Amino acid sequence: MTDVLLETRGPLGLVTLNRPKALNALDLGMIRALAPALEDWAARPEVRAVVVRGAGGRAFCAGGDVRAVASAVAQDTREPGGEPFARAFFREEYALNQRIHHFPKPYVSLVDGICMGGGLGLSRHGSHRVVTERLVLAMPETGIGLFPDVGGGWFLPRFPGESGTYLGLTGERASAADAVWLGYATAHVPHERLDALGEALGAADWSQGTAHDVATRVIDGFATAPGASALRARAAEIDRCFAGGRVEEILAALEAEGTPWAEATRATLGRMCPTSLKVTLRQLRLGRALPYDAMKDVEFRLSQHCTARPDFREGIRAVLVDKDQKPRWSPSTLAEVSDADVDACFAPVSL
């Protein structure tokens, strides 16, 4: 079975992520199939837009195949040319995200079901993000010893207020209504209407205005209101509690808030990798002022340093392999993570 299906249907380049048993998690083979297809479609004038969807009905894309990366790190697996697998994976994944970010034509993601981590990299950088009522959106990397990558350092700080800080540190899941409020989603379309939307994009008259305007007009014809955002309703609390420049300040603000939500959020942060929390907060604060292309380079450095740390393999073990949900972080507390430890994760890497 091919893990990514690539078709040209009339004016559309159609991508179907086709690893349903793995919730369409993105592996290196899929990345290497997608990149040249996008390059080809960008150059072909008869292809007016690209549509990306997930197979299986449960997920758009549950993220990058970090389990494979952890295994490769443990075994020092290398590509035929000698490049470490973990370096090749993140370098090529981030290059794919960058290609999407700068794609010259409408890039329409039909985000139905689970979309986490690398799934945001495949969708957020495109021009149109259509979500359904079944969306489960999250950046859960601090729970596996990583950081919100695939451009998270750029797009999370651009969500309203401190909502991106909250989502990036806690890994909290967002709904379709939340996604629209955040600005991740450009439209909400009911699940049962997605196939019809795809057909309408294929049948559209692409001569009537710019391609971007045509895609927007077709999608708007299917869009419905997503309902109320729970995240938006809690925005004032999030902004009060997550404005600090240090993780310890955020925890203190949550303690002072004293509500059940604040206590639950403190408990969630207490389960996350301490080093990942400090690295992520610095990444998000740095990303406020950096353009996407510069943040991509920062995140590549982070990817290489963080995957080399024991916390990454331990997080994968606890969450994805043994599934005991009891990672043993090292260091185990925020107090033990020094500024120098965080600095080291941002240090340049040799290419």
DSSP, collapsed to helix, strand or coil, labels residue 4 as strand
User: Are residues 27 and 68 in contact, defined by beta-carbon separation less than 8 angstroms?
Assistant: yes
> Of the listed 118, 143, 153, 198, which one is catalytic?
118
User: Does 126 participate in catalysis according to the annotation?
Assistant: no
The string of DSSP codes covering 305-351 is HHHHSHHHHHHHIIIIIS-------SS-SGGG--HHHHHHHTS----
Candidates 63, 64, 151, 164; catalytic one: 64
CA distance linking residue 229 with residue 233, whole number of Å: 6
CA–CA dist 149, 188 (Å, integer): 25
DSSP class of residue 26? B
Is 149 an active-site residue?
yes
- Measured CA distances, 240 to 121, 153, 163, 236 (Å): 28, 21, 11, 6
**How far is Cα 108 from Cα 235, in angstroms, rounded to an integer?**
28
In whole angstroms, what is the distance from residue 309 CA to residue 298 CA? 17
Residue 156 CA from chain centroid, whole number: 10
Q: Helix H segments across 64-137?
A: 66-75, 85-101, 118-123
Per the CB < 8 A criterion, the answer to whether 241 and 259 are in contact is no
Active-site choice (27, 65, 149, 178): 149
Sheet containing 4-9, strands listed edge to edge, beginning at the edge strand earlier in sequence = 4-9, 12-17, 49-54, 107-111, 128-131, 187-188
Structure tokens at 286: 């740095």
Please tell me the distance from the alpha carbon of residue 301 to that of residue 149, in angstroms, as a whole number. 11
Answer yes or no: 161 catalytic. no
Give the span between the Cα atoms of 282 and 305, in whole angstroms: 15
Question: Which one of 27, 93, 112, 141 is the catalytic residue?
Answer: 141
Please confirm, yes or no, whether 118 is among the known catalytic residues.
yes
**Packing angle of the helix pair 260-271, 163-170 (nearest 10 deg):** 50
Classified as helix, coil or strand, 50 is: strand
Q: Which residues are known to be catalytic?
A: 64, 118, 141, 149
